[in-house]
Amino acid sequence: MNPKVEKALNEQIHAEFFSFYLYLSVSAYFTAIHLEGFAHWMRIQAQEESGHAMKLFDFLNERGGTVKLLPIDAPTREWASPSAAVETVLNHERAISERINKLVDLATSENDHATTVMLHWYVSEQVEEEATADTLFHQVKMVESNPHGLLMIDRELAARPAPVAATQGE
């Protein structure tokens, strides 16, 4: 495996695991302020981020690379408001999109076609992640001064189904 691409993939695994930590921290914040639907939604999002990290982890192993797990810094734990917490998530997703785009550029410049193709899934995924976070941020911002509106969003987020665990052999 190309050493530059291997290093960049390890750094992205680190970024995805930080995303997992960040979403868990936001979930804990929402639990503390009794917005259980938001907490539920963020916890499911954390599980998705862990899956994103593991997809890269497995890909790196399949390609004969070496996975090098890096220390994960503690994420922010408190926010001034629900909209500030969701804005943190939105800004983080935008930063992850930038990282993915740079990874695609690197893999392309290094003629690593397998990595380039694999990363296309992440490019598409980030479009969805950013759009979802953007919509949630704007909805929360709209109702920020209206507790009833915030509770309506909380109820809607509580209905998000938990992901179905993959069975062995899939």
Q: What is the pLDDT of residue 164?
A: 67
- What whole-number distance in Å separates Cα of residue 23 and Cα of residue 92? 10
Average pLDDT per block of 10 residues along the chain, 170 residues long: 97 98 98 98 97 98 97 97 98 98 98 98 97 98 94 96 61
Tokens of 69: 């797990």
Q: What is the pLDDT of residue 47?
A: 96
**Domain 3-158 in CATH 1.10.490.10:** no
Q: What is the pLDDT of residue 169?
A: 45
> 122 Cβ partners below 8 Å, 6+ apart?
52, 100, 103
- What whole-number distance in Å separates Cα of residue 44 and Cα of residue 33? 18
Lookup result for tokens 């963020």: 42
Q: What's 130's DSSP letter? A: H
Q: What is the pLDDT of residue 168?
A: 46
Q: What is the pLDDT of residue 170?
A: 43
Q: What is the domain partition of the chain in residue ranges?
A: 3-158
Q: What is the pLDDT of residue 59?
A: 98
Contact 143, 152 (CB under 8 A): yes
pTM of this prediction? Answer: 0.92
Tokens of 50: 């862990």
- CA 59 to mean position of chain CA atoms: 18
Q: What is the pLDDT of residue 162?
A: 82
